[in-house]
Amino acid sequence: LSGFVIRGYLGKWTFIIKSVGLILASASGLSLGKEGPMVHLACCIGNIFSYLFPKYGMNEAKKREILSASAAAGVSVAFGAPIGGVLFSLEEASYYFPLKTMWRSFFCALVAGIILRIVNPFGSNQTSLFHVDYMMKWTFVELIPFAGLGLFGGILGSIFIFGNIRWSRFRKTSKTLGGNPIYEVIVVTFLTAAISYFNPYMRKSASNMIKQLFDRCGPEDYEVNLCDYQNKTFTTNKVDDNYHTGVFGSGVQSAIWQLIMALIFKFIFTIFTFGIKVPCGLFVPSIAMGAIAGRLVGISMEGVFRSFQMQSGHSMYWSCQIGKDCVMPGLYAMVGAAAVLGGVTRMTVSLVVIMFELTGSLEFIVPTMGIYDAHIELNGYPFLDNKEEYPYSTIAVQVMRPSTTAAVGVSNPSENCTERNELVVIVQDGMSVGDIEQMLRENNYNGFPVVVSANSMYLVGFVTRLVTFS
């Protein structure tokens, strides 16, 4: 999307192999998600279908518009989030995103969302993957633990990026791991399955675990450890007003330790899993880690508010109504999920919208190199980040060989500039299409350096002759 072409990266064989691999990887229980591969698959479909229409298949600019729309559709089908998909394409994927592309991307993502609703893959007749329905509002004082969760998410995300990149670099330099990727996948899968088996939360699929952490306790949850309170009195169809106001039972206490261990191992497994030779994304593991941390904070805040209730003996602005729920731990899980996801991916607006569409709840959404950019740099893919300023300190004649030898022996950069007519260049600003056409007619070179200006011959990039014709 930034203008580079990687042969075969969006081809039909990539689409077929990655589709099968994503199904198997998602079902394996590894600590990975599917949103990144879904975006890749959607872009493969857009690239393949563009060749059915010569107007788009032979025009790189038009093809990039299709790929931007495809990226939005990929997020839409991964999470049922068409608006978040458009913002993701704008914020993270696309290098050039004009207004007309935004409307086309929105239409593409909307159609993908409609098809997702018709197919109903979640079996719930809802496009939101983790639908929540909280009956109480958060209080102003809760902004303090929300801010703490945001701080935790940023720190955890930074540690994750550092650890994952260090491990990925070691993998690339190690002959054992680099030369045997299949063995690495087998070992990671075995360790994940063996350790996860002993933890009831890690034994669940990531989606089911996140859904349980987001949920509020109800009559149907009388056997769930997270909802075990000592003085709750209920039947399977009725809960009294004191359902949440009792002290923690043994189930909640054991669930706290299980969630702490789940958070530690989930974090470690995700560091070693992201980057192995299977299709994998980061959204779901990041949301899972944040949901675990948020639920733990929510349970702690629930105990704090309850102790204030017992000590004060009357209603205060920070302690809500006596005998009623003060804290909704599932809400903290949702905020924690957004915090860790933001810390790992470094997304802003699109993250908030995706979380809103994931949960179907706008009321409780509380609002720089990310992990994707770091892996692009690690793998050596050609990419110019539009959020980064690049210093231009190299003069073109120092790294390019001119048509004559007159300027080759000159070592002073200022003298090189006086000999610049010996080197045919493209100026990044100020050249018209006619100027470039004339340059192509007068010269038979296979490529041309791009410089800052006619007066400043600092090198910006290089354009091949084939690209100038397209």
According to the model, what pLDDT value does residue 45 have?
A: 92
Do 166 and 307 reside in the same domain of the chain?
Answer: yes
- Helix then strand then coil, in percent of the chain rounded to 5, is 60, 5, 35
Residue 228 has pLDDT above 80, yes or no: no
* Mean per-residue pLDDT of the chain: 77
According to the model, what pLDDT value does residue 286 have?
A: 92
Do 329 and 435 reside in the same domain of the chain?
Answer: no
- Of 88, 119, 150, the residue that ends a domain is 119
234-257: burial string, b at 16+ Cβ within 10 Å, e else: eeeeebeeebbbeebbebbeebbe
Model confidence band, residue 416 (pLDDT cutoffs 50, 70, 90): very low
Secondary structure of residue 326 in the 3-state scheme: coil
**Sign of the torsion formed by the C-alpha atoms of 230, 231, 236 and 239:** negative
Residue 126 placed within a domain: no
CATH assignment at residue 160? 1.10.3080.10
Q: Which two tokens stand for residue 61?
A: 């600019």
According to the model, what pLDDT value does residue 223 have?
A: 65
Do 212 and 87 reside in the same domain of the chain?
Answer: no
Do 244 and 364 reside in the same domain of the chain?
Answer: yes
Percent above pLDDT 90 for the chain: 19
Q: Which two tokens stand for residue 210?
A: 């996140």
Cα separation, 126 vs 360, in Å, equals 9
Do 312 and 175 reside in the same domain of the chain?
Answer: yes
For residues 353 and 169, which has the higher predicted lDDT (pLDDT)?
169
For residues 174 and 402, which has the higher predicted lDDT (pLDDT)?
174
Do 162 and 63 reside in the same domain of the chain?
Answer: no
Residue 7 placed within a domain: no
Q: Per-residue pLDDT tens for 80-136?
A: 788 888 888 887 776 667 777 888 888 888 888 888 888 877 666 665 677 776 666
Do 345 and 464 reside in the same domain of the chain?
Answer: no
- Residues whose CB is less than 8 angstroms from the CB of residue 294 and which lie 6 or more positions away in sequence, other chains included: 149, 213, 332, 333, 334, 335, 336, 337, 339
Residue 66 has pLDDT above 60, yes or no: yes
- Residues whose CB is less than 8 angstroms from the CB of residue 375 and which lie 6 or more positions away in sequence, other chains included: 165, 168, 275
Cα separation, 200 vs 273, in Å, equals 20
Q: Per-residue pLDDT tens for 424-443?
A: 888 877 788 888 888 888 88
Residue 134 placed within a domain: no
According to the model, what pLDDT value does residue 409 have?
A: 40
Residue 208 placed within a domain: yes
Residue 357 has pLDDT above 80, yes or no: no
Residue 46 has pLDDT above 50, yes or no: yes
Do 430 and 285 reside in the same domain of the chain?
Answer: no
Average pLDDT over residues 331-340: 88
Q: Which of 365, 366, 385 is nearest to 375 (CA)?
A: 385
Q: Per-residue pLDDT tens for 246-266?
A: 566 677 888 889 999 999 999
> For the chain, what is the largest distance between any 2 Cα atoms, rounded to a whole number of angstroms?
94
Do 175 and 260 reside in the same domain of the chain?
Answer: yes
Q: Which two tokens stand for residue 156?
A: 């955890």
**Number of domains, the chain:** 3
- Of 350, 379, 408, the residue that ends a domain is 379
Question: Are the CB atoms for 292 and 259 separated by under 8 Å?
Answer: yes
Radius of gyration of the chain (CA): 27
List Cα–Cα distances, 290 to 127, 149, 151, in angstroms. Answer: 22, 9, 12
Lowest mean pLDDT among 42-46, 62-66, 185-189: 62-66
Question: Are the CB atoms for 310 and 322 separated by under 8 Å?
Answer: no
Residue 63 placed within a domain: yes
Average pLDDT over residues 137-156: 85
Residue 423 placed within a domain: yes
Model confidence band, residue 179 (pLDDT cutoffs 50, 70, 90): confident
Q: Give the helix ranges, DSSP H, for 174-245.
A: 175-178, 181-196, 200-203, 206-214
Do 283 and 200 reside in the same domain of the chain?
Answer: yes
Q: Which of 41, 89, 67, 38 is nearest to 347 (CA)?
A: 89
Percent above pLDDT 70 for the chain: 71
Question: Are the CB atoms for 422 and 409 separated by under 8 Å?
Answer: no
According to the model, what pLDDT value does residue 6 have?
A: 74
Concatenated DSSP letters of 67-127: HHHHHHHHHHHHHS-HHHHHHHIIIII-S---HHHHHHHHHHHHHHHHHHHHH-TTSSS-S
> Within 13 Å and on the Cβ side, how many CA atoms surround 85?
33
Residue 387 placed within a domain: no
CATH assignment at residue 437? 3.10.580.20
List Cα–Cα distances, 165 to 92, 162, 284, in angstroms. Answer: 19, 5, 19
* Angle, helix 349-359 to helix 329-345, in steps of 10 degrees: 140
Do 185 and 110 reside in the same domain of the chain?
Answer: no
Q: Per-residue pLDDT tens for 276-322?
A: 999 988 889 999 999 999 999 988 888 777 776 666 554 444 445 54
For residues 407 and 324, which has the higher predicted lDDT (pLDDT)?
324
Q: Residue 55 is which amino acid?
A: K
- Domain housing 443: 396-469
Average pLDDT over residues 164-177: 88
According to the model, what pLDDT value does residue 291 have?
A: 92
Cα separation, 447 vs 321, in Å, equals 74
Do 363 and 422 reside in the same domain of the chain?
Answer: no
Q: What is the rounded end-to-end Cα distance, in angstroms, of the chain? A: 15
Cα separation, 448 vs 443, in Å, equals 10
Residue 127 placed within a domain: no
Cα separation, 370 vs 337, in Å, equals 17
Question: Are the CB atoms for 304 and 329 separated by under 8 Å?
Answer: no
Average pLDDT over residues 18-33: 90
